[in-house]
Structure 1
Amino acid sequence: MRAWQRALMGVLLSGAAGLASFAHAWGNHALLSYRALEAWPEVASAPAVPAEPLDAFLRAQGPAIAALTDAQEAWARAHIRAYTPRPEGLRWAWRPEADEAERRSAFARALRLSPQAAFALFVQVDPRHPERTADGPPLAPEAVASVAPSKGATQRFVAVAPGQPVPVLAVLASASDEPDYGYDIDLFDDNAGGGGLGFGVQPFGNPAIRISSQAPFHMGFFHQGAVFNTLAPAFARSFAQLRVHQYTTLAALAFRTGHAYWGWRFTGLALHYVQDLTQPYHASAAPGERLPGMLWANVLDKLGWPDRKAGLVVLQSNRHFVLENFQTRRLLAAAQAGEDTANERALRDVTRDGSYPAWHDQYLREVVAAEAHAAGPATDAAIVVGAPARYVLDPAFDFGAQEGQIDLDADMRRQLQAQREAMQEAVARLLAHLGAHTRNTVRGVRALADSAPRAQ
């Protein structure tokens, strides 16, 4: 790599490190999924499914699952750009005499997941309808996640017993938040306690920040352009497509073999990555900046003036935080009050679902991420106009560090109405995209399940 390429890589990687330190795109995904799916008959009218421990599925379908993980790996090698192949030693060689611990370990290794992925039986309570989703004893966050809850976390968990009927909506919505519970943490060789899964060094983000290590699985900079890709090839190493393909094909297998709970659960897991890539700050390296601006920031940094480069990272980080805080808090408040706002209506709006192509194995990249990347500049501009200036225009202010002391709703009420409306309209547009892609993903999984013969 030439010196000028290394220089550009420095500023781009610094930017991604800032972005990836808050690699949660939408806060609590369950809030989004409950609203996007609650009025859709395909989910709302589906019969409840009995909860099934993961090992029961693995024990019953082990050989088929092992074969599927090999097929998934072959697909990834053929279809994912800059993919790092799975080492042969991680391949699942089915052993009928294996115990539960060995089966779970083999499954996680074959998928290249964190060995701490819990796959617990749980439901995240819907704050709008707790009476429908709180039928079980409270469950501590550490029972479902290997990472501590983020600041201001809104999740509330209850345990589910094996065989207990669970509404399909609750299975999907709960699982759609699950990949943020540590499943993609510490998988790279330069992460503390990581390595051994063949992913190599972390391509972007700060490998010293634990939560940052999931960024290459939850972000996808697929549409930056040829110049960007040439100068910063590491940014092409996204594994979001891998996770969507793994979980959608596992869901299809589960549906075909009579394991409806895991069919819906794996579908929900896939939804997480689809929803992440509807967020412009996860589909663009820096939606508010053009490539020349990033280059200039790096030039100034090399000349001894680092403020522009540092400010670029902080401002993009702050705007992402503001967007996430704004929509999460509004969705939660509306759910608790039983109210509908523009956000809820946008999430439920099915009229745009058919405007997109039918689900296919490149839908995440070619449809979801492309749309979010295109929406990046307008979204960033709306946040700059709509949010208090200190939060989005002052590079000396770190929103993430101060978030616990900020009441964004109260601050927004002091803004001019036109400013608030500009930001709300931008958020509602993004949520309409998210709702449509959520439903289209479910449609795609069901079609995939129906496209192959069912087990006898």
Structure 2
Amino acid sequence: MRHLVFLLALLPTLAQAWGNHSPMCYRAFERMPEVAGAAPVKAEPLVDFLRDQEPALARELDAQEAWAREHLKGHAPRPDALRFVPDAKRSAADRRAAFLRALRLSPQSRLALYLQVDPREAEPTRPAIDAAQVTAVTPGKGATQRFVALQPGEAVAPLAVLATACDEPDYGHDLNLFDDNPGSPANPSYGFGNQPFGNPAVAIGSQAPFHMGFFHQGAIFNTLAPSFARTFTELRVQQYGGLAVLAWQTGHAYWGWRFAGLALHHVEDLTQPYHASAAPGATLGHMMWVNLKAQLGWPADRQGLVVLQGNRHFVLEQFQTRWIIDDARQRRDGPLELALRDAARDARYPPWSLAYVRDVVAAEAFAAGPATDAAVVVGAPAKFVTDPNFDFAANEAQLGPELARSMQGQRDALQAGIAELLGHFGAHSRNALRGLLKEANLRAR
């Protein structure tokens, strides 16, 4: 048995970790002095920032790539043809396209001017913006995002910019970037090679290697499934974080907060145990056993494990998202909101560094995996989390309301576990932001 091949099918539907990040980020940052006390910033189209800082951006992106090649394990080097080379004569559209290529983001990335409204606020009076202008991913029927238009030059609170951007990488930034994706960028290749896990034919699944980090599975697992080590979450944190620092440094505060939010998204994804562990509800021995049975002609147990892990992830995400949104609309503070704001947790962790993503965030989430999986099994209706013949993902739109009704009498069962995870979410988000702000201040001296 060379590889745990069945795990390749486990992850495509799990690319989204926490549902909507923005409502949680509003709570996590609304009382952080560095955010709450920051002066309003002027909204700025991306093309204006790129034009104004083109030479500095070229230096920054080259420095990031050099650092990644030296320090990031399993880094896929950026092809030299994708370098961002200053050219004052090119059009704004060409400059924007060159920027996306240098970052190796999807050409369909929107990066529009918009806000996602805090669900605690009343219905906005400003014009709504069509979701297609914000995201390349079609929102599901249960989507909770509310997008409104933001005008160039409009004054906006950094909290709103930051919280809005914290959800944005799920809007298609990382779609079809691998050589074997049907819609992958053409000529030149982005250099990521073939998709390391997940089904390359499923568009949304191509995001997974940029939003997950299996850094702590152990030597045996890594030998059996070496492709799982090829994840690019740390790369995205480094890229967006460096751009935030540059933007703050050069007087483009709006993009400083916006890029910071993009970086934080990838940090926050790794606080979700199902994004830091290939199968938190199964031991390595069990994974090897069901895989062997499948190879011998009895695949039912293998497929059952795949379905159960997916169902539990979806149930956790649905329960957490609905709970957060319901509390926000009622302007109610419950255990999740208190955990997200709990700044006393921040000092429990070491200072921010780029190693923090792997060594602190992912390690903590991996360790929490078995308890989290067990809490979902105990706290959710058995139909959703213990029946391997029931595929929640295939029926999510219809089953969401049923799950909400079924959970009403069992909310306490999952409350403590989810609150603890969101305490991690808030603390790591604030620590990462402090680190980026500190770097910007140090560069200014």
Aligned to 2:58: 66
Distance 1:151 1:276 in 2: 22
The reply on whether 1:445 has 2:440 as its aligned counterpart is no
The question of 1:172 aligning with 2:162 is answered yes
Residue 240 in structure 1 maps to residue 219 in structure 2: no
Match for 1:156 among 119, 125, 146? 146
Counterparts of 2:257 and 2:125, CA distance in 1: 19
Farther off after superposition, 39-48 or 118-127? 39-48
Aligned partner of 1:391: which letter? F
2:5 to 6, 10, 13: 10
The 2-side partners of 1:324 and 1:105 are apart by 34
Distance in 1 of aligned mates of 2:12 and 2:65: 26
Tell me the secondary structure at the aligned position of residue 142 of structure 1: helix
Question: 2:372 & 2:298 partners in 1: Cα distance?
Answer: 29
1:129 corresponds to: 121
Which residue, 316, 328, 331 being the options, matches 2:324? Answer: 331
2:115 counterpart SS class: strand
Aligned AA (2:112): A
Task: Specify the SS of the correspondent of 1:158.
Answer: strand
- SS of 2:343 mapped into structure 1: coil
SS in 2 for 1:120: coil
Contact 2:214 2:231 in 1 (8 A): yes
Q: Please list the CA deviations of residues 91-144 of structure 1 after superposition, one character each: whole Å capped at 9, or x if unmatched.
A: 11111111101110110011000011111000001110247xx36310010001
Q: Is the 8 A contact 1:21 1:206 kept in 2?
A: no
CA deviations over 1:370-404 (Å, ceiling 9, x no partner): 10000000000000100001111000111112222
Q: Describe the superposition over 1:284-318 as per-residue Cα deviations: whole angstroms up to 9, x where unpaired.
A: 00000111111111111112111100000000000
**Paired residues of 2:244 and 2:256 also in contact (CA < 8 A):** yes
Query: Which of 348, 354, 361 is the matching residue for 2:341?
Result: 348
Partner in structure 1 of residue 181 of structure 2: 191
Alignment map for 1:392-431 (pairs within 5 Å): 392-406=385-399, 407=401, 408-415=403-410, 420-431=411-422
Cα shift at 1:29: 0.6
Structure 1 residue 413 displacement after superposition: 2.5
**RMSD, aligned CA:** 1.1
In structure 1, the partner of 2:248 is: 255
SS at match of 1:123: strand
Match of 1:25 in 2: 17
Deviations 1:46-88 (A, max 9, x none): 1110001101111111011111111111111112111111101
CA distance in structure 2 between the aligned counterparts of 1:263 and 1:414, rounded to whole angstroms = 44
Per-residue deviation, 1:148: 0.4
1:321 corresponds to which of 299, 314, 317: 314
**1:222 maps to which of 215, 228, 232:** 215
2:39 to 34, 39, 47: 47
Q: Structure 2 length normalisation: TM-score?
A: 0.97
Is the aligned partner of 1:305 residue 2:298? yes
Contact between 2:4 and 2:291, CA under 8 Å: does it hold in 1? Answer: no
* Preserved contact between residue 22 and residue 211 of structure 1 (Cα < 8 Å): no
Q: Deviations over 1:268-296 (max 9, x none)?
A: 00111011000000000000011111111
CA contact (8 A) 2:5 2:225 kept: no
* Contact kept? 2:180, 2:200, Cα under 8 Å: yes
- Once the two structures are TM-superposed, the CA of residue 364 in structure 1 deviates from its matched residue by 0.7
Q: Secondary structure at the match of 1:222?
A: coil
Q: Is the 8 A contact 2:279 2:309 kept in 1?
A: yes
Which residue number corresponds to residue 369 of structure 1? 362
Aligned residue for 2:444, secondary structure, equals coil
Contact 2:211–2:233 (8 Å) recurs in 1: yes
Give me the whole-angstrom Cα distance separating, in 2, the residues matched to 1:435 and 1:130: 24
The answer to whether the 8 A contact 1:385-1:422 is kept is yes
The yes-or-no answer on 1:76 pairing with 2:68 is yes
Contact 2:314–2:393 under 8 Å retained in 1:
yes
CA contact (8 A) 2:7 2:306 kept: no
Unaligned regions of 5+ residues in structure 1, if any?
A: none
Q: Which residue of 1 aligns with 2:258?
A: 265
Matched, 1:280 2:273: yes
Question: Do the aligned residues in 2 keep the contact of 1:27 with 1:325 (CA within 8 Å)?
Answer: yes
User: Which contiguous aligned blocks of 4+ residues in structure 1 show a shift greater than 3 angstroms?
Assistant: none
Question: Offset at 1:14?
Answer: 2.6
Match of 1:108 among 93, 97, 100: 100
In structure 2, give the amino acid aligned to 1:79.
H
The corresponding residue for 1:208 is: 201
Work out whether residues 11 and 297 of structure 1, in 8 Å CA contact, stay in contact via their aligned partners in 2. Answer: no
Counterpart of 1:342 in structure 2: which amino acid?
P
Letter paired with 1:333: D
Aligned length in residues: 440
Partner of 2:373: 380
Return 111-120 or 400-409, whichever deviates more. 400-409
- Name the % identity: 59
Specify the alignment match of 2:352 in structure 1.
359
Does the 8 A contact of 2:4 with 2:288 survive in 1? no
Tell me, in whole angstroms, the C-alpha distance in 2 between the residues paired with 1:22 and 1:371. 19
> Residue type matched to 2:315 in 1?
V
Contact kept in structure 1, 2:15 and 2:204, CA below 8 Å: yes
**C-alpha separation in 2, matches of 1:14 and 1:186:** 17
**Native 8 Å contact 2:13 2:393 kept in 1:** no
Tell me: CA distance 1:48–1:130, structure 2 relative to 1, closer, same or farther (3 Å). farther
Distance 1:435 1:201 in 2: 34
Cα separation, 1, equivalents of 2:369 and 2:349: 19
Aligned mates of 1:335, 1:421 — CA distance in 2: 18
